[in-house]
Amino acid sequence: MRKGSRELVLIVGLALAACSTRSSSPAAGGGPALAPTEFSGERAFEHVRRLVELGPRPVGSDAHARMRAYLLAELKKYGLTVWTDEFRAQTPLGEKPMVNIIAERKGATEEVIILASHYDTKLFTDFTFVGANDGGSSTGALLELARVLASRGETSRYTLWFVFFDGEEALVSWSPTDGKYGSRHMVEKLEREGRLARIRALILLDMIGDKDLDILRDAYSTRWLQDLLWETAQQLGYGRHFTDRETFVDDDHTPFLHKGIPAVDLIDFNYGLWNRYWHTAQDTLDKVSPQSLKIVGDVVLRALPRIEAALAGIEKR
């Protein structure tokens, strides 16, 4: 996974940035001014539980296929337009079939805001890895975001795509060509088809279920987009979970950033002391919290209208 080569950077960054971190309490932003949303942390957690019950879900496994069927059934149940994008990826383990899942909530225009997660789990052969947080938590939260937004009657300016990327995890070792298969494929395909300009922004969720939720600012992410999410967290009273410390994470948002598309990664890459649960047999359901899922869901839902307004303002210039 993308963080493997960045663990030392994160540890050093945490130590250095702690000295200059600004207050992230609700009071620092003048107190909570926004109410929580209809996003259900319990519903999101139930999705995570069902995915974990399938066991390890690496690319090409039977459990991976069963998970995909579950995601498709849920998204169609919400009344969204759903399609899959099947492709074959060249990997260090040979050619692998992969499938991105896209669900659409039509807006007033063809311009798109993407809400995304990866749904595969890392391949391990020496222990059982169920990926409750890494792969599971963001997938469950994205399903719940899709349900909530699909149920809203009003039409927004922007079309929403709920994208479940396949093949985010490296099959052998994280590199520019091993990992991010689904997001790299989507960007390349959209560009080849002349549709990439439709994508106005991407909000990526990854590892957001930790009971001790501590989301740092990814320094690669688009700052104005990140600021809107962080300000929203403050006004919801969730400021202590969205800190001003910085880290660097190469994730499914970077292929979009490389093409000039505003993108932000919401990721808690501090999973257990010194990230000790990440990519281990300890990434289990008992480490995931419905409340953490709700915090992230509320922030995304409350920030979306602000993001849409900011994008509309940019387009008028």
Contact 84, 100 (CB under 8 A): yes
* Residue in the block written with tokens 């149940």: 77
* DSSP 3-state of 149: helix
DSSP letter string, 29-78: GTS--S---S--HHHHHHHHHHHHHT----TTSHHHHHHHHHHHHHHHHT
pLDDT band at 314 (very low <50, low <70, confident <90, very high): confident
For residues 278 and 271, what is the distance between their CA atoms, to the nearest angstrom?
6
Contact 115, 145 (CB under 8 A): yes
pLDDT at 153: 84
pLDDT at 73: 98
Structure tokens at 56: 């390890």
For residues 198 and 308, what is the distance between their CA atoms, to the nearest angstrom?
14
Contact 206, 182 (CB under 8 A): no
What mean pLDDT is reported for the chain?
91
pLDDT at 313: 87
Model confidence over 107-144: pLDDT tens digits?
999 999 999 999 999 999 999 999 999 999 999 999 99
Q: What does DSSP say about strands 94-105 and 159-165: parallel, antiparallel, or unpaired?
A: antiparallel
pLDDT at 315: 72
For residues 40 and 275, what is the distance between their CA atoms, to the nearest angstrom?
27
Main-chain phi, psi angles of 257, to 5 degrees: -60, -40
Q: What does DSSP say about strands 215-218 and 242-247: parallel, antiparallel, or unpaired?
A: parallel
For residue 296, CA distances in Å to 2, 71, 145, 291, 305 come to 21, 20, 10, 9, 15
* Residue in the block written with tokens 């995890």: 169
Task: Tell me how crowded residue 246 is: count the other CB atoms within 10 A of its CB.
Answer: 18
pLDDT at 10: 39
Q: In this model, does residue 24 exceed pLDDT 50?
A: no
Q: Please report, for the domain that includes residue 52, its CATH number.
A: 3.40.630.10
What is the number of domains present in the chain? 1
Structural domain boundaries enclosing 254: 4-316
Compute the average pLDDT of residues 245-253. 97
Contact 207, 275 (CB under 8 A): no
pTM score, two decimals?
Answer: 0.91
pLDDT band at 32 (very low <50, low <70, confident <90, very high): low
Percent of the chain scored above 70 by pLDDT? Answer: 89
pLDDT band at 27 (very low <50, low <70, confident <90, very high): very low
Model confidence over 65-79: pLDDT tens digits?
999 999 999 999 999
For residues 207 and 180, what is the distance between their CA atoms, to the nearest angstrom?
15
Model confidence over 286-300: pLDDT tens digits?
999 999 999 999 999
Give the closest residue to 246 by CA, choosing from 27, 23, 12: 12
Task: Tell me how crowded residue 276 is: count the other CB atoms within 10 A of its CB.
Answer: 11
